A and B are shown apart, each in its own frame.
Chain A
Amino acid sequence: MGAMVEIKNLSKRFGPITAVDDISFAVQRGEVLGFLGPNGAGKSTTMKMITGFLAPDSGSVRVGGDDLELSPMAVKQRIGYLPEGAPLYADMTPYAFLDFCAEIRGFRGDEKRRHLDDVVAKVHIEQVLSQPIATLSKGFKRRVGLAQAILHDPEVLILDEPTDGLDPNQKHEVRTLIRTMATEKAIILSTHILEEVDAVCTRAVIIAHGRLVCDGTPAELEARSRLHNAVTLLVRSGAINGAQQQLRALAGVDSVELLEEHDGVARFQIYPKDGHSIVSSVGEAAREGGWRIEELRVERGRLDEVFRAVTTGSTSREV
């Protein structure tokens, strides 16, 4: 069996704008793919093409082995989709709305009841079931949207900014829910919150200006950061200048930055050459110099830094 979702050379233009430009990737069962990119990068447009809402100008989408163009029904049945902003029929109650979705998904009678009870419990919307959706808080609306997406226990979940605008507790809940479903599904979620990638994603792609610029596990992406394997060192010492000199002279060290200094404590950031590990030589230098170390930490690298580098880098190349 091939990948659960397979996208090949997908492109979409809106007049003069190329919203999606030759994007290809695949998602396996068990993977949670984080879909990153600046505003207007083409994330939502890509998702709309995968779910069959928009027809691509070129390229193909296969879901569970079926081609979207040839058998749209089979593909749509496999997918659960939460569109951006979680649009809902505002004048319906969550119960009536989910009941409608369940019937469209082909459930009747006891089976329908079971699926509804199940999903209502999963997203915790018991107390608002018979209140018009228009009067619900944003958090509840989002949960109703999620409920609709997972109602038929789809093999593929496409979630466009599922935690956008939620409070920290609700974000946490949604992420937990996604993680619990992750093992038996292929999930694609877009987000602007980079910590979310670490929290739930097994893999991340970054797109900018419709093009795929990065694809890897969160750890691989972090490794591309200038900060990867950098050492943060907090020392209490009279001879701060001397320490800086000594650090800079170490083999494997690219540069040393004095981040702050107060109350006789200095915080250094030591960048390695080519991302090699330098923590042992820094530790050794400290011991030899007799510095009093308050803190010594190895950085993994920061996603936001990588994000900025690859998404703004591609603009400067283009223009």
Chain B
Amino acid sequence: MGHTWTILKRELASYFTTPIAYVFIVIYLFLSGIFAFYLGNFFGRGQADLNSFFTFHPWLYLFIIPALSMRLWAEERRSGTIELLLTLPITMWQAVAGKFLAAWAFMAIALALTFPMWWTVNYLGEPDNGVIVASYIGSLLMGGAFLAIGACISSLTRNQVIAFIVTAAACLLFVLSGHPLVLDFFKGWAPAFLLQAISSFGFLSHFDSITKGIIDLRDLVYFASFIAFWLFANVVVIEMKKAD
């Protein structure tokens, strides 16, 4: 645990010693504002809630999270520091967890900086703050799931551009598999249990149910096991591909 914390600190600090942190946060806030106000018609809806803000998070994360995760391992490979890191007296799990948690913590910071939205709705009306808290938690969990995929894919290559594109594609798959468009395609002919499986495999059904304000244990278990699975894959990939 101690080593995981040390690695987390180093990683998190390195976001802030480069312009990455500031660029990321500014663009994240800008885009989530655009999505909420223009596409989501935040004011026009005349409702005091943050639905229009959270609805777009899966789509926002689709390209903003791969930008955060692409360097996690690809950069270590490119610069050769992976050799330094993995010959220190730490376990592979500590390295993988430390890096993942750093990226996740950074994402949490960016998400927390959207608090003026919360303020605004509380100023304008009387929103259900319980729903908003749940939505924030759901968004954080979904972001963690995106990041776990991204960390694993980043460990497959030394090229950050490849890591970005492949991660975005993989995440798209998991977003789409719960989307009505895809479900409609299967609806006509696929058996109900398959439909159920496809939908519960994707992010959307879980995210939607959390943003309705219901924190169901099953959704938490889904995201937790999803993250654990991809981090496990991350460990396996690095063990197998250390030399390249």
Choose the segment among B11-19, B118-126, B173-181, B202-210 that binds chain A (4+ C-beta atoms closer than 8 Å): B11-19
B130 at the interface (CB under 8 A from A): no
Q: Which of A54, A76, A81, A87 contacts B81 (CB 8 A)?
A: A87
Known A-B contacts A53-B242, A87-B81, A89-B81; A104 and B88 likewise in contact (beta carbons under 8 Å): yes
* Bound form: Cα–Cα A91–B75 in Å: 12
Chain B residue contacts of A148, Cβ below 8 A: 84
B187 at the interface (CB under 8 A from A): no
Q: Are B18 and A87 in contact (CB under 8 A)?
A: no
Contact pattern, A 53-96, Cβ under 8 Å of B = 1, otherwise 0 = 11100000000000000000100110101011101111110001
Q: Are A87 and B80 in contact (CB under 8 A)?
A: yes
Chain B residue contacts of A83, Cβ below 8 A: 80, 83-84, 87
Interface size class of A (residues with CB under 8 A): 20 to 34
Most chain A Cβ neighbours within 10 Å, of B13, B81, B86, B89: B89
Q: Which of B3, B17, B86, B243 contacts A14 (CB 8 A)?
A: B243
B90 at the interface (CB under 8 A from A): yes
Q: Which of A85, A96, A104 contacts B89 (CB 8 A)?
A: A104
Chain B residue contacts of A79, Cβ below 8 A: 87
Chain A residue contacts of B86, Cβ below 8 A: 52-53
Nearest A residue to B15 via CB reads A91
Q: Are B17 and A132 in contact (CB under 8 A)?
A: yes
A-B contact count (CB 8 A): 66
Chain B residue contacts of A132, Cβ below 8 A: 17
* Bound form: Cα–Cα A124–B6 in Å: 26
Q: Which of B149-166 contact A (CB under 8 A)?
A: none
Chain B residue contacts of A89, Cβ below 8 A: 10, 14, 79, 81
Nearest B residue to A93 via CB reads B17
Q: Are A100 and B79 in contact (CB under 8 A)?
A: no
Known A-B contacts A87-B80, A91-B14; A51 and B3 likewise in contact (beta carbons under 8 Å): no
Known A-B contacts A53-B83, A76-B87, A89-B14; A104 and B6 likewise in contact (beta carbons under 8 Å): yes
Q: Are A104 and B17 in contact (CB under 8 A)?
A: no
Most chain A Cβ neighbours within 10 Å, of B10, B83, B87, B243: B87
Chain B residue contacts of A85, Cβ below 8 A: 80
Chain A residue contacts of B88, Cβ below 8 A: 76, 101, 104-105
Known A-B contacts A101-B88, A104-B3; A91 and B18 likewise in contact (beta carbons under 8 Å): yes
Chain B residue contacts of A54, Cβ below 8 A: 242-243
Nearest B residue to A82 via CB reads B84
A281 CB → nearest B CB, Å: 55
Chain B residue contacts of A51, Cβ below 8 A: 87
* Bound form: Cα–Cα A63–B94 in Å: 23
Known A-B contacts A85-B80, A90-B79, A132-B17; A73 and B89 likewise in contact (beta carbons under 8 Å): yes
* Bound form: Cα–Cα A100–B7 in Å: 8
Q: Are A92 and B81 in contact (CB under 8 A)?
A: no
Nearest A residue to B86 via CB reads A53
A171 at the interface (CB under 8 A from B): no
Q: What are 5 inter-chain pairs, A to B, with CB distance below 8 A?
A: A83-B87, A87-B80, A89-B81, A91-B17, A104-B89
Residues on B facing A (Cβ under 8 Å): 3, 6-7, 9-10, 13-14, 17-18, 79-81, 83-84, 86-91, 242-243
| Those 4 A-B pairs whose CB atoms lie nearest each other, nearest first | A87-B80, A76-B89, A83-B83, A51-B87
Q: A87-B79, A100-B6, A104-B6 are in contact. List 9 more A-B contacts (CB 8 A).
A: A48-B243, A55-B242, A76-B87, A83-B80, A87-B83, A88-B84, A89-B79, A92-B17, A104-B89
Residues on A facing B (Cβ under 8 Å): 14, 48, 51-55, 73, 76-77, 79, 81, 83-85, 87-92, 96, 100-101, 103-105, 132, 148
